[in-house]
Amino acid sequence: MNTRILGKDGLEVSAVGLGCMGFTQSYPPYPERKDAINTIRKAVDLGVTFFDTAEVYSYGKNEDLVGEALQPVRDKVVIATKFGYDLSETPDLSTSARPVALSSRPEIIRKAVEGSLRRLRTDHIDLYYQHRVDPNVPIEIVAETVGEFIKEGKVLHWGLSEAAPATVRRAHAVCPLTAVQSEYSLWYRKPEAELLPMLEELGIGFVPFSPLGKAMLTGRFNKNTKFYATDFRSAIPRFQGDNFEHNMELVEYVECLAKQKRTTPARVAIGWLLAQKAWIVPIPGTKRIERIEENIGGADIQFTEAELSDIRRHLDNIEVMGGRYPEDQEKMTGL
């Protein structure tokens, strides 16, 4: 697979990465641990070198899984993880769905770094994101704290997730950012307005999560699809009732594009993202090897300028209904 560069400090990663959250949370059923490890290692064999996890995913269990899977090839891959929550009182997953509190206090970040290094079975984190902006801790303090870890060699590069453009600019002025991670896809294009132009100005890479619209853009669903209560999508307004039925218009359009390009909807969606900027690296999540093979094939899809202009005209005329998060979580994003 071709590679891309994130940030001015030259972090080289595969053009398509792998979001690992779904192996342990949000999208059941979950694979057996040995099967998940085999899938992640197969992704490496297929050319994926960029893997995304977070401390809060299953309260450390996701990092532990990723760490074991990638330990044999640690020097060949880039591992991104995230801090930003106080896990000192971790809920019992079997009895509680109570969310943990946001916290980017320096002492909490220090504890998070040490825990992530241990679970990931490594002596350094390649790319370390603040998962969500903590309104109680100035971003300058966060940047200074992470800068200390960079000096210590425990963190090589850092970034922000779901941060507003003004916050990104302030953080970058203190400790230069390598990447910003936020949702971006054919059905969520808000970053185009302010975030992407600013990232281009500052030389910061962009890592879109949910590039397939939480699988909406793969063509797997229809108007009659129902999601189990344990599936994160069941709580997202875009996947509910009339919103869901209305949003099938975009799905049908992507399916039409796929037929024109003689490929799959997923590859169209990923190829479109890659065509936007040379410093964009999507991280689709999946638990299945065949989906990884399909997703990385998106890097081979080419669009002409005329095709991209036509796609943009169509997208501008398709309204996507409903929020992308439950209301309480939407408030935690900066976009």
94-26-132-129 Cα dihedral, nearest 10 degrees: 110
Pick from 224, 284, 212, 219: which is nearest to 258 by CA? Answer: 219
In whole angstroms, give the CA distance from residue 311 to residue 333: 27
What is residue 280's DSSP assignment? B
In whole angstroms, give the CA distance from residue 74 to residue 285: 20
In degrees rounded to 5, what are phi and psi of residue 116? Answer: -65, -40
Cα–Cα–Cα angle for 307, 310, 313, rounded to 5 degrees: 150
The amino acid sitting at 115 is: G
Find the catalytic residue in 27, 57, 85, 128.
Answer: 57
Pick from 81, 73, 78, 25: which is nearest to 53 by CA? Answer: 81
Element (H, E) at 63: helix 61-70
Active site residue 30: no
In degrees rounded to 5, what are phi and psi of residue 317? Answer: -105, 5
Per the omega criterion (within 30 degrees of 0), is the bond before 176 cis? no
Q: Which residue has the tokens 């994160």?
A: 232
Active site (catalytic) residues: 57
